[in-house]
Amino acid sequence: MIYDGGDAVRMRYPRPIRKGDTLGVTAPSSGVTDPLDLVRMQHGVDALVARGYAVLQTPNVFTNDDQGRSSPARQKVDEFCGLLENPDVSCIFSAKGGDWQYEMLPLMDWSLWESNPKWFQGYSDNTVLGFKTTAEHDIATMYAGNFGDFGMDPWHISISDDVEVLEGTRDRVSSYEFHEEGFHDRVTGLETVSADSRTWWKTSYCDERFSGRLLGGCMDVLEWFCLEGTADPSRFIESYGGEGIVWFMETYSMDAARIGRMFDAMREKGWLEDASGFVFGRPLMFEGGFSFDEDSYTDTVMDCIADLEVPAVFDADIGHKAPRMPIVNGARAEVSVSSGACEVRYSFKRCGYRRDNRRMG
């Protein structure tokens, strides 16, 4: 067992999932109604049942209104909290991304989550709950695939990695040799990751090795959090900044101006204090197109963070362009990049820290 539940400060890691547990699925943003997506969801249920788990799906998983909202905010919160209260449920997966998770925040009972710390996993719009829970309530969350990813057949190695991290049997993950570029039509609903582009993690300066406490998610949401003041990671940074903060970020659709505004606001509000490094996933869209000038995106970001003089890594296996490396939001990690490949090594156990040893090489 890798997890021991201890930490030098107070980050709470939900207990590992184990065979016989119930895995909850709910739709805090959009529900699943497309026929091929429904096939994929059911196949995901079957795959996890075959692995020894039960799966409980809330009613709003399969509903959407005409705006793509799974259900009213009150229902989303009630169904989510019902999974938190259920003693058989050890992990909650988001069914999908979308645009509507922010509606839950004013209604959330955060004390319920604090008294029932359970894994929550999703990406994109699921940054709303994942980032807020980790940054303000010291509960680790998982930035990885939404539930539909478990429905691919065969499973990509990233899915096995994901489950093994949740099961507490894996404390390191490595980058994947190929990734998807752009969109791919589905025919059966069970398609695995399309290996159409070779993966190369780019670094700001040769090979890199750095460490710190992971924090981040989808930049589209982080921008809203920062500009609107709807999340405040200041206590997180104060508590864990001595270890260094490794920001991981990726974007659905942002242009250079929005990225600049986001980083300006983060700097002004102190979010970037004690940053020890950045890991940027491949953006799905930049400057409004599905294909974009990668150098332009990298240059835009580097212009925003160059003054921090910390390592930055690009084209990481995080976010909208599969495969998705399981990233534990709130965990201590060492990031090592060499010759375009990366290993992220987690440390979930109690240990001592040195403020002056963030960049390892």
- Give the CA distances from residue 154 to residues 9, 28, 40, 190, 192, in Å, rounded to whole numbers and listed in that order: 40, 27, 12, 8, 6
Q: Are residues 258 and 157 in the same domain?
A: no
Residue 158: closest CA among 175, 139, 146: 175
Positions in the chain whose pLDDT score sits under 70: 1-9, 287-295, 349-361
Last residue in a domain, options 172, 199, 214: 172
Token pair 């150098």 is found at 295
Q: Is residue 333 part of a domain?
A: yes
Q: Is residue 361 part of a domain?
A: no
pLDDT at residue number 206: 85
Residue 323: closest CA among 347, 297, 342, 337: 342
- The tokens of 294 are what? 């990668």
Q: Is residue 11 part of a domain?
A: no
- State which residues form the domain around 152: 22-172
**CATH number, domain with residue 195:** 3.50.30.60
E strands present in the chain = 22-26, 54-57, 89-94, 119-122, 141-143, 172-174, 178-179, 197-198, 202-203, 208-218, 245-250, 253-254, 275-281, 285-286, 312-316, 327-329, 332-338, 341-347
pLDDT at residue number 24: 99
Greatest pairwise CA separation for the chain in angstroms: 53
Contact between residue 104 and residue 80 where contact means Cβ atoms under 8 Å apart: yes
Q: Is residue 190 part of a domain?
A: yes
Q: Are residues 164 and 107 in the same domain?
A: yes
83 φ, ψ (degrees, to nearest 5): -70, -35
- Give the CA distances from residue 66 to residues 9, 29, 125, 298, in Å, rounded to whole numbers and listed in that order: 45, 13, 18, 37
Q: Is residue 143 part of a domain?
A: yes
Q: Are residues 343 and 226 in the same domain?
A: yes
pLDDT at residue number 347: 94
Q: Is residue 353 part of a domain?
A: no
Contact between residue 4 and residue 170 where contact means Cβ atoms under 8 Å apart: no
pTM for this model (two decimals): 0.93
For residues 12 and 149, what is the distance between their CA atoms, to the nearest angstrom?
26
Last residue in a domain, options 114, 145, 172: 172
Residue 95: closest CA among 63, 54, 133: 63
Question: In terms of DSSP bridges, do strands 202-203 and 141-143 run parallel, antiparallel, or are they unpaired?
Answer: unpaired
Q: Are residues 111 and 149 in the same domain?
A: yes
pLDDT at residue number 294: 58
pLDDT at residue number 182: 74
Q: How many domains does the chain have?
A: 2
Q: Are residues 80 and 105 in the same domain?
A: yes
Q: Are residues 74 and 185 in the same domain?
A: no
For residues 197 and 343, what is the distance between their CA atoms, to the nearest angstrom?
19
Three-class SS of 283-324: CCEECCECCCCHHHHHHHHHHHHHHHCCCEEEEECCCCCCCC
Q: Are residues 179 and 327 in the same domain?
A: yes
Q: Are residues 152 and 273 in the same domain?
A: no
pLDDT at residue number 49: 98
Last residue in a domain, options 172, 194, 211: 172
pLDDT at residue number 358: 41
Q: Is residue 300 part of a domain?
A: yes
Q: Are residues 58 and 46 in the same domain?
A: yes
